[in-house]
Amino acid sequence: MKAVILDTATLGDDIDLTPLHEEVQELEAHDITSPEERVTRLTGAQIAIVNKVVLDAKVLEALPELELICVLATGTNNIDMEAAKRLGIDVRNVTAYGTQSVAQHTLMLMLALANRLPLYQRDVAAGRWGESLFFCLMNHRTLELAGKHLVIVGQGELGRRVATLAEAFGTRVSFTARPGNEASDDRPSLADLAPEADIVSLHCPLTEATHHLIDADMLGRMQRDALLINCARGGIIDELAALDALRGGRLGGLGIDTLPAEPPRDGHPLIAAAAEPLNLIVTPHNAWITPEARANVVRLTAENLHRWYQTRA
């Protein structure tokens, strides 16, 4: 069996690929693959291993020997799943590989925003501490997590891990009903919980029901000092509405790890706004990138290969 990895660069250069080598007879690895190179590189391979390279129907139809696609991520939106099914190509992804990493990043954003770190770091860099009339600066109102209410959208493994970490700070946690399924869910909706939330953290997939889940109307329901964190997918928040609320003092802080288009080749208003005196943190979709999480991706993909071989036996 020949396997081809099309975008090893997305795993970094410090991760051991030995578990994958051990599962296939031949493993060909490419750091990055352009759209024009996809068919050429996968010709003759039975297994394609990809992270974000798009494998659409046209590409899949040009690869009659392809039997399996292993996605080095949870999302499979870069694969034409209907075409794969029609062509008899199995698709396997990995889940829960970055739970600890993303939960840690979420808490980092929560703590930094609660303590107004972006604003105080700016003040220190501008020399304002040295100009203070007394020993400290206290011109930005901070938030103590103990006793505050964290509302989480998404009660999967990641959402539950974030809840556990937040509870260690004495934070009260509520999970919302699944967006789009509120009528048959016993949990309160986000709209119901938003007015009493001190922090809202998103850990749900991007679907029709969650696109712009946090829009101007939802932001208007939230407390003026509330913190909003998105370590899920870009587009779940109406980023422009959230930025407008932050600038207008109708949102206490905004932490974003994802944007609708990645990488943001043409920039983004939130990136530009990072230069403004706002309680805003934008990180480059790197909540998941601890070495441990990336090694988990390789290990889980090797397990997918092993199980696939067993189904063929």
Task: Please tell me which residue in 38, 233, 268, 294 is annotated as part of the active site.
Answer: 233
Beta bridge partners of 245: none
- Structure tokens that stand for 89 in this block: 């190509």
Length of the chain: 313
Q: Which stretches of the chain are DSSP H helices?
A: 18-21, 38-42, 57-61, 81-86, 99-114, 117-125, 157-167, 190-193, 216-221, 239-247, 269-273, 291-312
Residue 285, SS3?
coil
Residue 262 a catalytic site member = yes
Beta strand 227-230 with 199-202 is parallel
Residue 265 a catalytic site member = no
Task: Please tell me which residue in 262, 276, 306, 307 is annotated as part of the active site.
Answer: 262
Nearest-angstrom CA–CA distance, 114 and 143: 5
Residues contacting residue 1 through CB under 8 Å, at least 6 positions apart: 24, 25, 26, 46, 47
Beta bridge partners of 255: 229, 281
Residue 21 a catalytic site member = no
The position carrying tokens 């992804």 is: 93
CA atoms within 13 A on the CB side of 207: 10
The position carrying tokens 């972006």 is: 118
Beta bridge partners of 145: none
CA–CA–CA angle 73, 269, 215 (5° rounding): 75
Residue 313, SS3?
coil
Strand order in the sheet with 172-175: 172-175, 149-153, 199-202, 227-230, 253-256, 280-282
What separation in angstroms does the CA of 127 have from each of 53, 130, 137, 147, 280? 46, 6, 11, 34, 20
Catalytic residues: 233, 262, 285
